[in-house]
């Protein structure tokens, strides 16, 4: 609050990135491509990238070979961009490998799903979590106090319009087709939440 009982409002410009990629694109090429896109944005206050955009959220078989140290090439390039643009970058997350002598996680894999926040000065703030493999964690024992319990898989949810393969951005499409479909839908004024009728073949 400021004098006179008025509320002071601060505007924050945020740029959210949605990134499509193919398995044939190298980690270095993907990071370079995204850094170029970031440089083209009209310097928002905060840039937000998706989780595991660089290493591939569903490419767990390659995580061991592509994992990086926190001061590796991916974070170093993004840190340089944040400093030159003088903006904050939430770098989504990367697969960080444990350096010598550091914690290796509950399964001794030495892989961490690390979220990095880069300041306008290029400083790195991080939060790290054990890297989870899709389809595995629902069966992994969970620990609560002294009692060992089995974690139950999540309850199935009702499908929505965006889950259908015929909807722009639907789950049945590849990342590249999903991005192209969303762009086309926006150009036509169609919202992502707009229901579509299922196809009758």
The predicted structure's pLDDT at residue 61:
83
The predicted structure's pLDDT at residue 76:
95
Q: What's the Rg (C-alpha) of the chain? A: 20
CA 43 → CA 14, 25, 38, 39, 48, distances in Å?
9, 27, 8, 8, 12
Q: Would you give the end-to-end CA distance of the chain in angstroms?
A: 60
Instruction: Indicate the range of 19-23, 69-73, 85-89, 170-174 predicted with least confidence.
Output: 170-174
Residue 152 pLDDT grade (very low, low, confident, very high; cuts 50, 70, 90): very low
- Domain boundaries in the chain? 12-135, 159-192
The predicted structure's pLDDT at residue 85:
95
- Can you tell me which residue has the tokens 């350096």? 99
Average pLDDT, the chain: 72
Residue 167 pLDDT grade (very low, low, confident, very high; cuts 50, 70, 90): very low
β-sheet with 46-48: strand ranges across: 14-16, 46-48, 88-97, 111-118, 124-130
Q: What does the alpha-carbon distance between residue 13 and residue 149 come to, in Å, rounded to a whole number?
A: 44
pLDDT in tens, 74-133: 999 999 999 999 999 999 999 998 887 777 766 677 888 889 999 999 899 877 665 555
| CATH 3.60.110.10 for the 12-135 domain, yes or no | yes
pLDDT in tens, 32-42: 999 999 999 98
């Amino acid at each position: 609050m400021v004098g006179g009982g008025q509320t002071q409002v601060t505007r924050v410009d945020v740029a959210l990135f949605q990134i499509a990629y193919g398995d044939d694109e190298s980690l270095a090429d993907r990071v370079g491509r995204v850094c170029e896109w970031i440089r083209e944005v009209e310097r928002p206050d905060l840039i937000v990238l998706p989780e595991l955009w660089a290493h591939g959220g569903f490419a767990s078989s390659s995580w061991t070979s592509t994992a990086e140290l926190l001061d590796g090439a991916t974070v170093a390039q993004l840190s340089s961009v944040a400093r030159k643009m003088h903006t904050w970058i939430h770098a989504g997350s990367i697969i960080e490998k444990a350096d010598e002598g550091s914690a290796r996680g509950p399964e001794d894999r030495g892989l961490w799903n690390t979220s990095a926040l880069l300041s306008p000065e290029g400083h790195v703030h991080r939060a790290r979590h054990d890297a989870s493999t899709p389809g595995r964690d629902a069966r992994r024992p969970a620990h609560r106090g002294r009692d060992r319990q089995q974690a139950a898989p999540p309850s199935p949810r009702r499908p929505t319009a965006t889950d259908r393969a015929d909807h722009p951005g639907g789950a049945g499409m590849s990342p590249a087709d999903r991005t192209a479909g969303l762009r086309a839908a926006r150009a036509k004024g169609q919202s992502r939440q707009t229901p579509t009728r299922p196809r009758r073949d």
